[in-house]
Structure 1
Amino acid sequence: MPDFESRNLDDAESLARLAELLHPTKAARTEAKARGRRRAAAGFLPAQGPAPTGQAAPALQHA
C-alpha cells in the first residue's frame, strides 16, 4: 500500500490512520464480523469451516 510507506507517514494523522487499520476497535471488529456474516449468508463468500484438529491447513500457493 503506497499510502502507508514509511516516507509517507510524516504526520500524526497518517500514523493514527495506520493504527486504526492495524489495531481496530472492538466496535470495528464486531461490525466487520457482522458484515462478513451477512455476506456469507447472501452467498458472496465460500462456506468454510475451521480446520479439523490434528490436520494441517492446506498450504497457500503463490500465483
Structure 2
Amino acid sequence: SFADEEFLIIKIYFKESDHAGQGKQAKELLESAVTLINTIDDKDDDLQQMEKHLLTRISYLK
C-alpha cells in the first residue's frame, strides 16, 4: 500500500542519517523523513512512534 512504501522510504532516510553521523546532513535527512510523515493523513501507531523517534533524534542533532 501507499503507506507501506512511505514507511520504507522513511526507514531509508533513517538509515542514511546514521551513515551521515551527527552533522547537518543527518539532520536534513531526518527532517525530510518527518516532512514525509506529515504528508500522511492516516498515521498508524508505527508511524506515530517513528515520528517521535525521528523528532528525538533531530533534537539531539541541533
Q: TM-score, normalised to structure 1's length?
A: 0.35
The structure, 1 or 2, with the larger RCO (C-alpha pairs under 8 Å, 6+ apart) is 2
Q: Say which one has the larger Rg.
A: 1
* Structure showing the higher helix proportion among its residues: 2
Q: TM-score, normalised to structure 2's length?
A: 0.36
